[in-house]
Amino acid sequence: MKLLITGGAGFIGSNFIRHLINKYPDYHITNLDKLTYAGNLDNLKDINGHPNYTFIRGDICDAKAVADAASGVDAIINFAAETHVDRSILEPGSFIQTDVYGTYILLESVKAHGIRRYIQVSTDEVYGSIESGSFTEESPLMPSSPYSASKAGSDMLVHSYWKTYHLPAIITRSSNNFGPYQYPEKLIPLFITNALDDKQLPLYGDGLNVRDWIYVMDNCEAIDVVLHKGQEGEVYNIGGGNERTNVEITEIILRETGKPKDLIRHVKDRLGHDRRYSIDSSKLRTLGFKNRYSFEEAMIDTVRWYRENEWWWRKVKSEDFKKFYKKAYGEVEW
C-alpha cells in the first residue's frame, strides 16, 4: 500500500509512521507536514533516509500541496490538526482554519483522486463532559472548547462527505494519549520535564478533572486495525480504560521523578474545563483490537524516555514556549 500521513511529524503521527515502517516492510509512507511549532522532524530522526519513507513539507490547507502528495496513494490518514485547548482559548482562528478547512481540502482530494480509504483522527473531547457512564459513538457531540469544536466540525464534515459523495471515510476518536515525542504543552510531558528541572507543576483548579489515558502505541495499533478492518462511514472510539484525576497523574510523575509534592502549584481553572471524559470502546473490540500496554508500566517508560532524551525536549521548550505558558498559566516559575 501507499499511504499519505498528514501531520506525521507530530506526536501521534510520528509514532504511527514508525509503527507502520516496523510492521509493514512493503508499504510506502509519505509524510505531509507543515512543521508548525509542534511538528518536529527529530520525532522521526531514526527513520530518516528509509527507502519506504518520504517527507514533504506542506500545509493541508494548500490544495495544490495536498493534490501533489495524494497522487497515487491508496489511503490518507489525517493527523494534521491544531490540538491544544489552551492555545485554542487564546488563539481560536488557526484551529478553525486547519482543523475544519484543512479537512475539507483533504476530502476534496480523496474525491478527486478516487482514494480508497480516508481516516480522520479525532478526539473524545468532541463529546464534552460526562458525569457518569461512558460515551458511545452514537452520543451527541457537545464540544466545550474552540479546539474540540473545531474537531467536531471536521468530524461532521467527514460524515457529510461519506453520506453525500459516498467517500470511503472513517473517524477514530481516542482518549488522552501519552508517550514519547509528545510536545511538552500537554499535561504529562509538561509536568515530567518541569519536575526534572525542579520547576512548578501548574495544576488547574482542584485537579480532580478525570481523563481516560491511552499509551500512544496502543492508539497507533487501533488506528492500524481501523485502517485495515474498519467499516466505511463508521466512527470508532479508542479508549485506554485508565481513568485518572489530574492530581493522580501529577503524583505518579512526582513519584517516578523523585520530586516533592510542593512543586505542585494550583492555578486558576481553565475556561470551560470539562470535568470528566469517558468513552466506550467495545465497538472497536469487535474488530479484534486489544490494548497491549498497562497504564502503570507505560507511565514509567514515558518518564524514563523524557529523562533519557533531554536533547529532544530542551530544544522545544524555548523562550517562545515559556512566554506562551506565562500567558496561559500566570506567574508560574519556568
Residue among 59, 99, 125, 212 flagged as catalytic? 125
- The 10 Å Cβ neighbour count of residue 299 is 24
* Residue 206, Cβ density class (10 Å: 0-12 exposed, 13-18 middle, ≥19 buried): exposed
| Residue 124 annotated as catalytic | yes
Residue among 124, 155, 218, 224 flagged as catalytic? 124
Q: What is the DSSP letter of 167?
A: -
**What are the angstrom distances between the C-alpha of 327 and each of 86, 159, 195, 320, 333?**
10, 37, 20, 11, 12
Residues in the chain, overall count: 334
Beta strands in the chain (DSSP E): 2-6, 28-33, 53-57, 75-78, 117-123, 169-174, 176-178, 201-204, 210-215, 235-238, 243-245, 264-267
| Residue 224 annotated as catalytic | no
Measure the CA angle with vertex 238, ends 204 and 120; round to 5°: 95
| Residue 125 annotated as catalytic | yes
Query: Would you please indicate which residues are annotated as catalytic (active-site) residues?
Result: 124-125, 147
